[in-house]
Amino acid sequence: MWATPRVRARHLTFLLLPLLLAGGCEPVQQPEGFPLPSAVRLTGPFTPVVDLRADVNRDGVVDLADDEGEDSWRAERGAIFLANIDDDEGICPFSLSPRTLGDDQLSVCNDARDAEVNGEEDLEDLARLRIAPWPEAPDYAVGSVTVLGPAAQKVRLFKKFGDTYSSQRNPSQLFLTAAQLRRGMELAIEANDIVRDPSMWDGFADVRLTINRSRNRLSDTEFQDIVRLRVAPVVMFHHLSPAESVFVSKVADDLDAARFRKDLRATLTGAERPVSLFELEVEDLWTQDFLEPAYMSMPAPGGAQHVIQVNYRAPFVIAPEKDAALRVAGRMAFRLRGRNQAAVQQYEPGMSEESQTLNSFGNTEVIPPYEKDGVTYPLGRLFRGRGPDTRPDFQPDPSFTRLLEAQGVQPPVYVDTSWLNVSHVDETFSFLPANTPRGWVVLMADPALARRMLMDLQAQGHGDAKLFTGLTWGFERPAELTVSEVLDNAGVMDASALAALEIDTQRAILQEETGLTDAEIIRVPFLFQEVTGGLSALQPAMLNLLAVSATQVIAPEPHGPLVDGKDPFKTHFEEALAAYGIRVHWSDVWSPYHIGGGQVHCATNSAREVPATKWWEGGR
């Protein structure tokens, strides 16, 4: 059968090339689908259009403006892509039982687990690359797009065919035929993970387009173009962003916890801007501790951000010296996985059992955005507790610490929390939005102030006024104490004095790192007591609260002494926050939370509105 005129012409061209073109000769391997007689050799000038584009200017579109500085990455310019680790089609299995589905099995299921684009929603999570057309590309031209270096193990490329995208056997390399080079190509790119350890992968991906005369010359460097992309870091929320969703554990058969959830729901739904409440079916009171909402984002058209929410699972290991099982409630991070909802698990076995409390997320908060000495932190900084350097056995999980620090955009500030029974930073500090030049204030525990307030009450003749009226510490142990009894309790006074010294050290570090003035610190009065393992709040710690918005918080009822029908501790706190336009809703969390070592913040968690500030503008 005769070949079509197009094929006959192509054959003729190849046969005439040695006669028509001057210069050196090169052996050629023709692209797949068009065998070339071995006797034919190609020669002549070769000046291809080699132009690979990414969204370098971050406007959400790949266009002609995306060229300058494409091979570098800086605050002003540089392409971005996402770790495609959500579950857009909702096909990942879940079980709360590790016996049904192991932790490692649970954690690896996501949209990047395969080489498929799983629907239109999944496609939205992929960044685009474009190869400019080379209309005059000869039939013997071939191209390749390759991810270089360590990123090759973390990045997958897809090539567009019609309305679909597909990957090839090697997901970090694609080949292009001459026909594809002529018309130009659209590619898509995803990462299969976030950055966890910069020594293994720093999050940057250099993608190289190479055009050659044949497949056997793919190592040529003369005709190539490189773009540099960075995978989006995971960013944790600060309290300047209003809450959008609040989580609380639905602990069965606990009437007090049920009353707290009912009050919480009523307060959130009745807020000026209603907030959704999700009750998680786990037998673990401390929702703040076993997971932490965060997010990652890349540019979208119109100046928007395309966001994937990321829920961290706490690297908290139960009985690490035995079976090293992760805290079961932390699996709820994967229960929340779905469209634009991802989950991340990272932990290192072998840490001491005592140190596991540092791995709870009540021990990782976010200092809101600020500038100091010309250095800006537009997304704030992480605020974490740890043990002193003299206690290497009492430190947070080092692999998870590497992961947090590797995100780069919220460099942590560390303080010593080893003196506390629970050892969490949310026991002594909290941050709230405020109408100040800085935009926020800090709440700081002040046991010395609490002592002075009680002494003033005693001096005013209220020494018999009772704290904790009608309450118990559990097992019918009465909690009631008069003002005078508290002041006469040497153990409470000594514990509170020690706490004051330790908190002052934490304050000094925070002020040194942020430039906070004393006027920007709201001192929150409550005393401490000594319990097994360290110090703990005697009175409910009012600063351990849920920041709902810029105008409302939900704080623990302090159960202080009543004087003329008013609790001076509540009055002090309400007045301090009212100065910044913040209203306080009081919630009774004495049982089971306060007597269990936590308050409102410990009992809840919140996913917040993604800040308008884009992480890539921060210079990190």
**Segment 452-505, tens digit of pLDDT:** 999 999 999 999 999 999 999 988 899 999 999 999 999 999 999 999 999 999
Q: Which of 46-50, 253-257, 604-608 has the lowest mean pLDDT?
A: 46-50
Mean pLDDT of the chain: 91
Q: How confident is the model at residue 438 (pLDDT cuts 50, 70, 90)?
A: very high
Is a pLDDT exceeding 70 seen at residue 432? yes
Supply the pLDDT for residue 46: 81
Q: Choose the CATH number for 6-84+126-231 among 3.90.550.10, 2.60.40.1700, 2.60.40.10, 3.30.450.20.
A: 2.60.40.1700
* 583-587: strand order across its sheet: 546-547, 552-556, 583-587
Collapsed DSSP state (helix, strand, coil) of residue 604 = strand
Supply the pLDDT for residue 34: 31
Enter the DSSP assignment of 236: E
% of the chain with per-residue pLDDT over 70: 91
Q: Determine the average pLDDT of the residues in 577-595.
A: 98
pTM, to two decimals: 0.91
Supply the pLDDT for residue 37: 32
Q: Determine the average pLDDT of the residues in 498-518.
A: 98
Q: Determine the average pLDDT of the residues in 595-613.
A: 97
- Cβ neighbours of residue 418 closer than 8 Å, sequence gap 6 or more: 385, 386, 387, 388, 391, 394, 534
**DSSP per-residue letters across 171-222:** TTEEEE-HHHHHH-EEEEEEESS----TTT--SEEEEEEEEESSGGGTT--S
Q: How confident is the model at residue 321 (pLDDT cuts 50, 70, 90)?
A: low
Is a pLDDT exceeding 90 seen at residue 593? yes
Is a pLDDT exceeding 70 seen at residue 4? no
How far is it, in rounded angstroms, from Cα 486 to Cα 502?
A: 21
Please list the residue range(s) of the chain that carry CATH number 2.60.40.1700. 6-84+126-231
Per-residue pLDDT tens for 331-389? 999 999 999 999 999 999 888 999 999 999 999 999 999 999 999 999 999 999 999 99
Q: How confident is the model at residue 213 (pLDDT cuts 50, 70, 90)?
A: confident
Q: How confident is the model at residue 217 (pLDDT cuts 50, 70, 90)?
A: low
- Cβ neighbours of residue 361 closer than 8 Å, sequence gap 6 or more: 288, 289, 290, 291, 292, 312, 314, 605
Please list the residue range(s) of the chain that carry CATH number 3.75.10.10. 236-297+357-400+412-617
Is a pLDDT exceeding 60 seen at residue 519? yes
Supply the pLDDT for residue 30: 36
Is a pLDDT exceeding 60 seen at residue 20? no
Architecture (CATH level 2) of domain 236-297+357-400+412-617: 5-stranded Propeller (3.75)
Per-residue pLDDT tens for 405-421? 999 999 999 999 999 99
Supply the pLDDT for residue 319: 76
